Amino acid sequence: MPKEPVLPPAGEPGELLPLALEAAEEGERLEGLDFSGQTALGEDLAELELSGCRLVRCRLTGCSFAAASLRDVLFQDCDLSQCRFTKASLTRCTFDGCKALGADLSGASLRDVSFSNCRLDLANCNAAALRDVAFRDCSMEDAALSGCRVRGLTLDRCALTRVNFFQTPLAGVDLTSCTLIEPVFSASAAELKGAVVDLFQAAQLARRFGIVIKE
């Protein structure tokens, strides 16, 4: 189970964009700050360091957080669509009620990260390192989780429609509460070894791979 972010008591809301741009440029860390209702569109915040921060109802569409370091950060009801977190490091972060359509987390390192009630359709998590990461009540249509390194992955009540799991091992992952429609696996379906599915899902998967079930 992912650990919760360690956050200081709520403070006065700050101005995200000028502080973030200055911190990113100077290589400094933003720590212990609250941001509410902020807007930043298409900004370059690469290598930004955030620690112990809350972002609530912020619209950050199209921003780049490439190679950023986020530790103990809460994103609540934020719009992160088309944001780029490529090769970023996320530790003890929570995304609650966020929209992240087409977000790019490829090559990122996620540890103790949870996504709850999020829209993650078309999100790209290819080649990410996922350690103690949980997706709960998320829509993940056409998302890509290919070639991920996995240790402690939870998928709970998620809509997994055409999700690409190519070369991502799902051993020990319980998929029984999820909607599993046309997932993408390798030809041998080796990714499914050790995964937990119900009888209906097993029958669907068997048909996908040409197995005839005789009643």
Rg over alpha carbons for the chain, rounded to the nearest Å, is: 18
CA 61, CA 50: separation in Å to the nearest integer?
18
pTM of the complete model beyond 0.95 = no
Question: One digit per residue, pLDDT tens: the chain, 215 residues?
Answer: 788 888 878 766 778 888 888 887 788 899 999 999 999 999 999 999 999 999 999 999 999 999 999 999 999 999 999 999 999 999 999 999 999 999 999 999 999 999 999 999 999 999 999 999 999 999 999 999 999 999 999 999 999 999 999 999 999 999 999 999 999 999 889 999 999 999 888 888 887 776 655 55
Angular region, 27: left φ>0, alpha ψ -120 to 50, beta rest: left
Pair of tokens at residue 65: 């957080």
pLDDT of 10 reads 77
pLDDT of 199 reads 87
- At 23 the three-state DSSP class reads helix
- At 190 the three-state DSSP class reads helix
Angular region, 157: left φ>0, alpha ψ -120 to 50, beta rest: left
pLDDT of 88 reads 98
- At 25 the three-state DSSP class reads helix
% helix, strand, coil for the chain, step of 5: 10, 35, 55
Secondary structure E strands in 126-208: 129-136, 149-156, 159-161, 179-181
Pair of tokens at residue 51: 């620690």
CA 11, CA 150: separation in Å to the nearest integer?
36
Which residue, among 47, 50, 83, 87, has the nearest Cα to 64 in the 3D structure? Answer: 83
Q: Which helix (H) or strand (E) holds 51?
A: strand 49-56
Other C-beta atoms lying within 10 Å of the C-beta of residue 211: 10
pLDDT of 214 reads 58
Beta strands 69-76; 49-56: pairing state: parallel
Structural domains of the chain, with CATH:
16-208 (2.160.20.80)
In this structure, what DSSP letter does residue 20 have?
Answer: H
Q: In terms of residues, how long is the chain?
A: 215
